[in-house]
Every structure is written in structure tokens, then in C-alpha cells.
Amino acid sequence: MSTYDELLKISEQLRSMERALYLLAWDERTYMPKGALEGRSKTKAELSSLYHKKLTSEKTKECIEKLNKESKQAELDDVEKAAVREMTRDFERKYKVPDDLIQEMSKVSTKSQSAWEKAREKSDFELFLPHLEKQIELKKEVAEYIGYENEPYDALVEEFEPGFTAEKIESIFEPMKKELSSIVSEMLSINKKPGEGVFKGKKFPIEKQKSICRELAADLGYDYDHGRLDETVHPFTIGMDDDVRITNRYSEDNLTSLFSLMHETGHALYEQGLPPEWYGHPLGKRISMGFHESQSRLWENFVGRSQEFMDYLFPKLQSEFSNLKDVSKEDFYRRINRVKPTFIRVEADEVTYNLHIALRYDLELGLFREEIEPEESKVVWENKMEEYLDIVPEDPSHGVLQDVHWSAGQFGYFPSYALGNLYSAQIFQSAKDDISGLKQNIYEGRFQQLREWLRDNIHQHGRRYKAEEMTKRLTGEGLNENYHIEYLKEKYEPIYGLV
Ligand code: ZN
């Protein structure tokens, strides 16, 4: 067997373990009985440790060293070179960190997450503070082992957005923040509430919502032969090659379930669009978290919240929900696109959303640059919230304690959400340029062309191209925040009568 084939075999074995871990995670968040948590944690820890051992084994190391030699590289074609590049990256990020540090991180994370849950429940930042301090300290250590371009934070961002650094993110976020803040303050100054009363006092039976969602996912192209739709508290998608599962949540009081469904379906279409011949292959994965998020946002916002989509969706809703009979399509469109600053990120609209991320980014970067002390986090958060969105949370559970990420040691993750929004605007513009009649397609409820465009241009390439290169291939330039800003202006000026 050639060294390259050996590497592929290792990759396949790793993927099998990963699939098992993902399935356990899916089960834990959907149907696992409460009392099974302890046993489940044990199983997961064992399996994760096997995975880690395999990835960082002497065998893997040997293959990677051989394949990175100049003489060997010369024998590889472009796909093989990319596969070696990605495996090398995965290997190094784990191999460079000592085992005892990894074990410590895992222990600290378990404690820290349960402390965070309590702290959030009691809205007591002090309860969480020592854990936050510890997580930052450990992640700084990790960054030193992994290595970085300019500063420790770069090593952490690299986990989620390969090729990005703090400096690069700042160069995109700084102008974005200014533009978004000015759009938001202009909207708020006119004190308008588009689509007021559309959902007020109405109930939307959950069983009906479920059946609409089930059909909607199928219409968008989600393949139920290779997936399923279940219920959960925080919707998520899990991709296990030929088994890609989505989850959703429902509330009787509104129809946000439709948009979370479209979001998760967007993630799922990415996973289902990966080429089957690359299941278990080093390249058979998403490019980055930001790219994944771009696919969910594209379907949720650029399709789902568009005026054209209302022609497809609204008549269906009216026939299911008699209480929408006296609501106009235009009012419904305005209601689902209302801009309102909220404390909670996951409830944010598409205009304010990236400001929630900018706030988190400022804070975590400050923590890692040691310009902000952990104990100042709560106050910095409140000040930034006031600066960006003109609201101040009354308690930390609506502020600094709202997200799980830091308690799990996931620093560097937040930028991906905002980058996803930026990518989606730029990608959707390219799709519009390429597909004549895209708007008409959406209007008539035909999504195949767009889905195939995304599959052919993005999904089927797995992670062969890095984000920067993929963006250039797709759009002719690197990531540019102006597409997002222009899209928002064009869409929201008429809704808010700002033209
Ligand atoms: Zn998402």
C-alpha cells in the first residue's frame, strides 16, 4: 500500500469514529433519557481518546512526514496535495498540544460548563468568573503550543476559520461595525414597527408548523432518504456523510420555526452536497465554520426572508392558518424582517446580528491581548451593547452569560457567525449573476437551480480550496463586507421608508 493510501485509510478510520461521536451527540440532544448523562459522558470520553490516539499516532506522523517531503509531493496531483495539506493541519493542531493539557482542558470544560449553567440561571457573573479565567489561561497555553502568525488569538481563530487572523478579521469588522451602527441608528430614529400586529394574540398549532416545515425542507431539496428531522431545544444539524440530520424547535406564538428550519436545511444541503466518493476522505468536509454558516444564512435570509419567497410561502400559510386570512403578504414580509435590537444574539435580526458578534469579538480579542481583564468582561459587554445597539442588559444572563461558547473554551468561534453572513451576501450576488431568472425561480418555488449552483460551485469541492481561494473562485475577489452592507440597505430602506 502506498503511503498516500495509508493516509486515506487512517482518514476513513477517523471518520468512522467521528460519525459515532456525532451520533452520540445527536442522541444526547434529542432523545437521550436525562439519567443517562453520566454513562454517556464516559463513552464519549473513551471514544474521543481513541480518536485522538489514532490521529496523533506514530503511524499518522510517519505518513504525514513522508508525504510532505519534496520528492513525494512531486508525485502527488492537486487533489492529493490538498488532502495531505488538510490532514497535516488536523494532525499538527492536535499533535503539538501535550496529552495532559488536552485532558486538563476536557476536565475544566465539564466543570466550567456546569458552573456556567448555574451562573446563568442565577444571573451571577462572579460564579462563572474563575472558570472563565481558567479557560483563557488554558487556551493561551494551547496557542503557544500550536503556534501563530502574530498573536495567540490567531491560533484559536485558525481552528474555525483556517487562514484567518485577528488582524484580517479586524480589517473586515471595523468598517462593517461603522456601517451597521449607522444603519441601525437611522432605522431606530424613525420609530417604525413594520408589520405590527401580524402575530399578536395569534396561535399557530405546532402540528401544522411541523408538517409545513417537513414539506419545506423537501421542497428546498433536503433528502429524507439520507436524513431526518427531529425536535430539540437549540436547533442544529449534524452531518455524517450519507446520514445528515436536522433538528428544529417550535413555538405556538409565532412562525420563527420556518426560518430556523430553512437555516438548518441550508447546513444540511451543504453536507448532503459533499461528494459521496469523498466520504471519509480528508477533503470530504466543509471549508470552515463561516462557510457552513454562509449556506444556512443564504437559505434562511436571502431566500427565506425575501419578497419573492413570500409568493411561494404565504399562500401555503394562509391555507393552513385561518388567522392569517386577513393579513396581507406585504405585512407578513415586513413583520419577518423587523429590525429590533435585542439582548440575545440568537434572537437577533439580520441587520443587528453582526453587531452582536462584533461585541463578542472585541471582548475576546481584548482578553487575549490582555487589554481587558476577565473580571471586566461584564462591564465591557454592557458598554459595548450600549455603544452598538443602544440597549443595556439589566442582568448578566441577558448579557455576558448568555452564550455557552466560552464555558466550553471555544474562543475564536464567534467571528465565524458574522463571516457566514458576509460570505452569504457575496455568494448570493454571484449566484444571481450566474443564474438568470433566479428571482423568478424563488417566486415560483423552484429551488433546484440555486441548490445545484451551490453544490457544483461549493459543496462538491469539500475543503479542497481554502476559504480565501474559494471566495475568489466564486466571486472574483476576496471577502468583502460591502456586499452585506449593500444588501441590507437595498432591502431595508423600502421596509423602513428610508429612501
Ligand atoms: Zn448555523
Cell of 127: 460564579
Please tell me whether the overall predicted TM-score, pTM, comes out greater than 0.85 for this model: yes
pLDDT at 156: 97
Name residue, grid cell 460548563: 113
Cell of 498: 428610508
Where does a domain end: 55, 89, 121? 121
Please report, rounded to a whole number, the percentage of residues in the chain having pLDDT higher than 70: 100
Instruction: Report pLDDT digits (tens) over 277-307.
Output: 999 999 999 999 999 999 999 999 999 999 9
Q: Compute the distance between CA of residue 177 and CA of residue 78 in angstroms, rounded to an integer.
A: 39
Tell me which residues have their CB within 5 A of the ion that is ligand 1: 296
On the question of pLDDT at 131 being above 70, the answer is: yes
Residue 472 falls inside a structural domain: yes
Q: What is the mean pLDDT of residues 421-447?
A: 97
Cβ neighbours of residue 60 closer than 8 Å, sequence gap 6 or more: 7, 10, 54, 87, 91
Q: Residue 248 forms beta bridges with which residues?
A: 231
Split into its structural domains, the chain has a count of: 2
C-beta of residue 426 within 8 angstroms of C-beta of residue 479: yes
Q: Compute the distance between CA of residue 267 and CA of residue 467 in angstroms, rounded to an integer.
A: 17
Which CATH number fits the domain that encloses residue 170?
Answer: 1.10.1370.30
Ligand 1 centroid vs 405 CA: distance in angstroms? 14
Q: Which of 89-98, 181-190, 263-272, 394-403 is the least confident region?
A: 181-190
Q: Compute the distance between CA of residue 145 and CA of residue 317 in angstroms, rounded to an integer.
A: 54
Ligand 1 centroid vs 107 CA: distance in angstroms? 27
Ligand 1 centroid vs 67 CA: distance in angstroms? 35
Instruction: Report pLDDT digits (tens) over 377-418.
Output: 999 999 999 999 999 999 999 999 999 999 999 999 999 999
Q: Which of 87, 84, 88 is nearest to 74 (CA)?
A: 84
Where does a domain end: 88, 121, 154? 121
Where does a domain end: 102, 121, 140? 121
Q: Which of 410, 411, 360, 365 is nearest to 388 (CA)?
A: 360
Q: Compute the distance between CA of residue 238 and CA of residue 168 in angstroms, rounded to an integer.
A: 29
pLDDT at 41: 87
Residue 215 falls inside a structural domain: yes
Ligand 1 centroid vs 261 CA: distance in angstroms? 10
Cell of 391: 440597549
Q: What is the mean pLDDT of residues 460-468?
A: 97
Instruction: Tell me: do 489 and 345 sit in the same domain.
Output: yes
Q: Burial code of 190-221, b = ≥16 C-beta within 10 A, e = fewer?
A: eeeebbeebbeeeebeeeebbebbeebbebbb
Ligand 1 centroid vs 304 CA: distance in angstroms? 14
Residue 438 falls inside a structural domain: yes
pLDDT at 499: 63
Q: Compute the distance between CA of residue 246 and CA of residue 260 in angstroms, rounded to an integer.
A: 10
Catalytically annotated residues: 264
pLDDT at 206: 98
Integer-rounded Cα Rg, in Å, for the chain is 23
Residue 135 falls inside a structural domain: no
pLDDT at 450: 98
C-beta of residue 14 within 8 angstroms of C-beta of residue 53: no
Ligand 1 centroid vs 46 CA: distance in angstroms? 28
On the question of pLDDT at 103 being above 90, the answer is: no
C-beta of residue 374 within 8 angstroms of C-beta of residue 132: yes
Task: Walk across the sheet containing 237-240 and list its strands.
Answer: 229-231, 243-248, 237-240
Domain range for 17: 3-121
Confidence class of residue 498 from pLDDT cuts 50, 70 and 90? Answer: confident
Residue type at 438? L
